[in-house]
Structure formats: C-alpha cells, structure tokens
Structure 1
C-alpha cells in the first residue's frame, strides 16, 4: 500500500492508498475538500469537526443518487440544517442529527 500526501481544507493528510488507486483516492479527496470548503465558506459553521460531519452527511446522501433504483437523497446545507429555533427542515436529517448528537454527547453537539 502506498501513501499519498493530500490537502483537505488547507490541512495536510498522509493517506494510505491501494496500488493503482491514486485516481480514485484523489477524486474522493477532491469531493471531500469541495464539500467541506463549501460549508466553511457559507460562514455559519466554524468548527472543523462539525464541517467534516456535515460534509460526510452530504456525501452519504448523494451516494444513492449515483446508484440505480435508489431512493432520492436529501442533502444538508448550512442554511437548511437549522431553522425555526434550531429544528431541522428535513425529517431524515433531523433523525440523523439527533443520533449523531446522542453519540457525540453534550460536548460534541452538532447544532
């Protein structure tokens, strides 16, 4: 297994990469970097870990769209994640955020 040095949201990471997997890994890094930068640039969320979680959720929601016969995904954007006193605008996202908040505990609440 080879190693690739990449940058995600301005921070360097050394990643393990299977032989002949460079292109796929760099594509994945690019998608993650773009998703995280888009959330950061919206200006509502500053914490890198929260940005990473929201980017991961967005990418996970987009994944079924790439698969035939998939249920349509509902992606989260910083503007959609909270409204009306902190409640989420999408029931699926609300359930996911509640599960993540429970798993992270009081100190790691997402929103």
Structure 2
C-alpha cells in the first residue's frame, strides 16, 4: 500500500492508497477540498469539524441524487430521462436549507443545543 501526502483545507494528511488508485484518491481529495473550501468561504461556518460535516453531507446528497437519477433513467423512456435529471439550482437550494437547519441546531460553540 502506497502513502500519499495531500492537503485538505490547507492541512496536510498522509493517506494510505492501494497501488494503481492514486488518481482516484487525488480526485476524491480534490472534491473534498473544494467542498470544504466553498463552505468555509461563505463565511458562515468557521469550525473545521462543522465544515467537514457539511461537506460530507453535501457530497452524500450528490451521490444520492446521482443514484436516484440513474435508477430513474433505468426505468424511464429517453424523453423522461431529460425531464427527471436533478437540477443544479435544486441542489444549491437543498444546501442552503441544510446550512440553515444546521446553524439552527448548533449553537455558536458548535454543539447541539
């Protein structure tokens, strides 16, 4: 198993990686870093652990949306596939709602109230 040093939100991590999977790992690191950076840059969330949780939730929503779209595509006619594809604005709206709900649930100290 190979070890790769990466940067996520300007912090170094040493990750184990199966041989031949370096590109996939680096792609995953890029996705996580981008998601966390976008959340941090909104200015609403500063705690690294809260940023990580929000990024994980956002990525999980993206995976779920893709799985739902793929399942619908497998059972839909070609014209229905285009109509049922998830919209980017809907994902952004879900993120905004999720951020609001998380901020309501967590106090200023980052703990559930």
TM value normalised by structure 2:
0.67
C-alpha distance in structure 2 between counterparts of 1:74 and 1:33, whole Å: 19
Q: Does 1:82 align with 2:100?
A: yes
Which consecutive residues of structure 2, in runs of 5 or more, have no partner in the other structure? 73-85
Q: Indicate if the aligned counterparts of 2:50 and 2:110 stay in contact, CA closer than 8 A.
A: no
More helix by percentage: 2
Long gaps (5+) in structure 1: 88-100
SS in 1 for 2:20: coil
Which runs of 4 or more aligned residues in structure 1 lie more than 4 Å from their structure 2 counterparts after TM superposition? 72-76
Counterpart secondary structure, 2:14? strand
Report deviation, 1:69.
Answer: 1.1
Aligned to 1:15: 15
Matching residue of 1:108: 111
1-structure distance, mates of 2:31, 2:42: 17
Within-5 A mapping of 1:41-60: 41-60=41-60
1:21-78 Cα distance to aligned partner (Å, 9 max, x none): 00000000000000000000000000000000000000000012333116x685653x
User: Which has the higher Rg, Structure 1 or Structure 2?
Assistant: 2
TM-score by length of 1: 0.68
Q: Is 1:64 matched with 2:64?
A: yes
